[in-house]
């Protein structure tokens, strides 16, 4: 399924522990031997914040698989050296809801530029005024992708989102559940696809951290490790302006079912189409 792991703009936690946590997380990842592979169209850990009303967030997700699957399996094109460009449009509904829409495309030598599919993603959040100790949000996403890019053509996902800012540190966890609506895995039931992010604000403009993405397989009957998708990205967020979102990362996937090396980038621009006048 097309994974939609989203990290929002910067957040934060304290000083001096960033490297330690980074190393700890990397150790956990490699020692656990977990592995992952993913759709690689929108690689983002979701934060709780929603786009404000009368705002449109336009994001371009650019992901290139440096080292991935080299064979055609079940009619699905190999991912190796695929360039994915995903346009994401997110409109704020009110101060606790938004709707996102995706257009997935792929470029690959021999296949040219291809439309892959579209998804729609409504999302709600617990309003700030509830003063919860952590941020809470719930996203759901449904959509289609062509069979040559994913054997499961219709998929649905529900994604709880929990995040927390502690000083300069930012933590986010997305324990997502996925279901295939049409395709070979239609009888598989609910799959578990968690994602997480830990980042640290080095300065007002530069944050760095790690993002973790996984697909463990069906709940109650996880796939063997080699068949799981496991991926970890070292990322940086450049907070150059409230209107812009820039995220860059390099991801490693050590299991057989995971693309081994991916480079990703997200460029986002917020457009405020409300409040044209100072008196609005």
Among 3, 9, 84, 123, binds other proteins (CB under 8 A): 9
| Residues 93, 97, 101, 106, CA torsion sign | positive
Distance between CA atoms of residues 198 and 171, nearest Å: 5
In three-state secondary structure terms, 252 is strand
Distance between CA atoms of residues 50 and 193, nearest Å: 22
3-state percent helix, strand, coil for the chain, nearest multiple of 5: 10, 55, 40
Does residue 272 belong to the site contacting other proteins (CB under 8 A)?
no
Among 137, 207, 230, 258, binds other proteins (CB under 8 A): 207
Binding mask 129-158 for other proteins (x = CB under 8 A): x-x---------------------------
DSSP conformation class of 51: P
In three-state secondary structure terms, 190 is coil
Q: What's the CA angle centered on 209, arms 205 and 214, to 5 degrees?
A: 140
What the block records as the tokens of 120 is 């729609």
Does residue 203 belong to the site contacting other proteins (CB under 8 A)?
yes
Distance between CA atoms of residues 68 and 82, nearest Å: 9
What the block records as the tokens of 39 is 């759709």
Does residue 70 belong to the site contacting other proteins (CB under 8 A)?
no
- In whole angstroms, the minimum distance from the beta carbon of 16 to other proteins comes to 13
Distance between CA atoms of residues 158 and 124, nearest Å: 12
Q: Which stretch binds other proteins (CB under 8 A): 58-66, 161-169, 186-194, 218-226?
A: 161-169
Does residue 197 belong to the site contacting other proteins (CB under 8 A)?
no
Does residue 279 belong to the site contacting other proteins (CB under 8 A)?
yes
What the block records as the tokens of 177 is 């559940």
Q: Which is nearer to other proteins, 96 or 156 (CB)?
A: 96
Q: Which is nearer to other proteins, 156 or 202 (CB)?
A: 202
- In whole angstroms, the minimum distance from the beta carbon of 182 to other proteins comes to 38
Task: Pinpoint the alpha helices (H) of the chain.
Answer: 18-32
Q: Which is nearer to other proteins, 102 or 170 (CB)?
A: 170
Q: Which stretch binds other proteins (CB under 8 A): 107-115, 219-227, 239-247, 257-265?
A: 239-247
- In whole angstroms, the minimum distance from the beta carbon of 219 to other proteins comes to 32
Q: What's the CA angle centered on 93, arms 90 and 98, to 5 degrees?
A: 40
Residue with tokens 């409109």: 91
Q: What's the CA angle centered on 126, arms 90 and 118, to 5 degrees?
A: 25
Among 123, 159, 168, 264, binds other proteins (CB under 8 A): 168
Among 4, 44, 150, 165, binds other proteins (CB under 8 A): 165
Give, as ranges, the residues between 94 and 133 that touch other proteins (CB under 8 A): 95, 127-129, 131
- In whole angstroms, the minimum distance from the beta carbon of 232 to other proteins comes to 22
- 78: nearest Cα among 89, 70, 88: 70
Does residue 43 belong to the site contacting other proteins (CB under 8 A)?
no
Enumerate binding residues for other proteins (CB under 8 A). Answer: 9-13, 49, 95, 127-129, 131, 165, 167-170, 201, 203-204, 207, 239, 241-242, 245, 270, 277-280
């Amino acid at each position: 399924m097309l994974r939609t792991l989203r990290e929002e703009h910067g957040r934060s936690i304290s000083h001096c522990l960033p490297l330690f946590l980074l190393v700890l997380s990397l150790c956990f990842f490699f020692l656990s031997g977990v592995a992952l592979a993913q759709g690689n169209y929108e690689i983002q850990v979701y934060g709780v914040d929603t786009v404000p009303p009368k705002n449109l967030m336009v994001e371009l997700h650019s992901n290139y698989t440096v080292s991935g699957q080299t064979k055609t399996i079940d009619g699905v094109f190999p991912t190796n050296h695929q360039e994915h460009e995903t346009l994401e449009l997110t409109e704020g509904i009110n101060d606790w809801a938004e709707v996102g829409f995706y257009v997935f495309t792929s470029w690959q030598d021999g296949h040219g530029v291809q439309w892959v599919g579209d998804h729609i993603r409504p999302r709600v959040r617990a309003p700030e005024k509830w003063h919860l100790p952590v941020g809470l949000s719930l996203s759901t996403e449904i959509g289609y992708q062509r069979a040559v890019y994913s054997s499961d053509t219709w998929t649905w996902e529900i994604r709880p989102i929990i995040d927390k800012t502690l000083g300069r540190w930012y933590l986010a966890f997305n324990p997502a559940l996925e279901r295939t609506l049409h395709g070979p895995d239609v009888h598989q039931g609910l799959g578990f696809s968690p994602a997480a992010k830990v980042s640290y604000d080095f300065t007002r403009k530069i944050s760095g951290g790690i993002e973790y993405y996984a697909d463990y397989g069906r709940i109650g009957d996880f796939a063997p490790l080699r068949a799981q998708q496991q991926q970890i990205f070292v990322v940086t967020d450049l907070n150059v302006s409230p209107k812009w979102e820039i995220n860059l990362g390099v991801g490693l996937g050590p299991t057989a079912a995971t693309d081994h090396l991916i480079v990703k980038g997200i460029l986002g621009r917020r457009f405020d189409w409300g409040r044209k006048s100072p008196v609005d």
